[in-house]
Structure 1
């Protein structure tokens, strides 16, 4: 039976590479984006990669709880049991806590933390009942060592790693796997205005490769956390 994966933040950066990798593995996909044209174009690309899979799409602002839950419910209705949830939605804000705007903390919470919490609450009960499934939460090296120049970002990524650990403790007796993916400097849109050498950074494809290899491990093996940093060190 074909398995199903749901990916947030799925048309750009790490989420995009992860979706492509799961398509290559033959999983049906549920993907979302705020941009309908971008979403439909990516759907076509995924089905060209693997014509045998279903790709469910829904225009969604992942930082909006109501829209996010509508996407989750529609994906479940369309595809059935969701075997894999990848929480890759995230955004970076460069400012210290004392200097950031009034709206920054709430925005970071709603993008970096809330979606993973809500997707766990939505899909976790079914996974617990079926005693199978896998959650991947895309954290950050800021989850381990805060960045002074990215205050709210660091706080929310710290919290996301804490949530991931709690999810794993709650789920391990039911055979549901939970993995924290902890990337260092990764060449995503966060760096689009910077002049960088891609050979000194982690690539989104590296994150996708790690997730696929973890996903394909034996039923009795779980990778609690994986840290992937640039070989020359953090930028």
Structure 2
């Protein structure tokens, strides 16, 4: 069992939900996000769920790349070892390319990809030193195709995360270090709470339980919840663009 788990972007949404599920399983947690007051509330909640676990919190803006390395190492020192790091922090700002929202699209591109590279670097630095660990990246079902409007850059960053994860996995294939890429389908969270019509969407708790089950299996790639995404992602890859347009 991976006992000591670090989660970025843990103050809300999927990060918060995964922390709750791992606390129920008796895992010690290292949680970071920009909003430390929310982390304090979450820490109290998790210790109420399971008084036998240790919960460490630190403020972190993942776009401060130097801080990513120092915070990860500080958590490692707190816990002795890091067994699993979940690269979860992300955002979904943006609009159609060429419509005057470059600043928002750039924010999403940097946060979701460049800052994810920083998190993977910091985690793998620790795992290589330990010669053990489980790197988990959070991609998206949108990684399998291009999407329009606000999802254009978001989907592109998630495709990059999937590719990045595979490259790291190949690099450490003959070591005790494991790399898992999770592709959530449509799960209700703060990033999409204003979107009304979404096919097959599930609530945060249902989605996070599915994500944690998949993470614990440590497969290379998982599409969650299993129904319908374990098979539907294959359909999406070959679906006509007219279908994809209706999903975004």
Give the TM interval when normalised to the shorter protein. Answer: 0.7 to 0.9
CA–CA distance in structure 2, aligned partners of residues 164 and 67 of structure 1: 22
Structure-1-length-normalised TM-score? 0.86
CA–CA distance in structure 2, aligned partners of residues 214 and 194 of structure 1: 26
User: What secondary structure does 1:179 align onto?
Assistant: strand
Aligned residue for 1:180? 181
Q: CA deviation at 1:91?
A: 0.9
Distance 1:54 1:115, change over 3 A: farther
Name structure 1 gaps, 5 residues minimum: none
Asked if the contact 1:21/1:208 (under 8 Å) is kept, the reply is yes
Q: Map 1:211-230; keep pairs closer than 5 Å.
A: 211-217=211-217, 222-228=218-224
Q: Matched residue pairs, number? A: 230
Q: CA deviation at 1:100?
A: 4.6
Q: Does 1:72 align with 2:72?
A: yes
Aligned residue for 2:162? 161
Deviation per CA, 1:73-92, whole angstroms, max 9, x where unpaired?
22112112111111111111
Structure-2-length-normalised TM-score? 0.82
Asked if the contact 1:138/1:180 (under 8 Å) is kept, the reply is yes
Distance 1:115 1:23, change over 3 A: farther
Asked if the contact 1:168/1:177 (under 8 Å) is kept, the reply is yes
User: What secondary structure does 1:212 align onto?
Assistant: helix
Structure with greater helix percent: 2
Deviation per CA, 1:27-84, whole angstroms, max 9, x where unpaired?
1111112222211111100111111111111122222213323321221121121111
Distance 1:2 1:83, change over 3 A: closer
Runs of 4+ in 1 over 6 A off after TM superposition: none
Name structure 2 gaps, 5 residues minimum: 233-246
Asked if the contact 1:60/1:68 (under 8 Å) is kept, the reply is yes
Q: CA deviation at 1:144?
A: 0.8
Q: Map 1:126-137; keep pairs closer than 5 Å.
A: 126-137=126-137
Aligned residue for 2:90? 90
Asked if the contact 1:31/1:57 (under 8 Å) is kept, the reply is yes
Q: CA deviation at 1:137?
A: 0.9
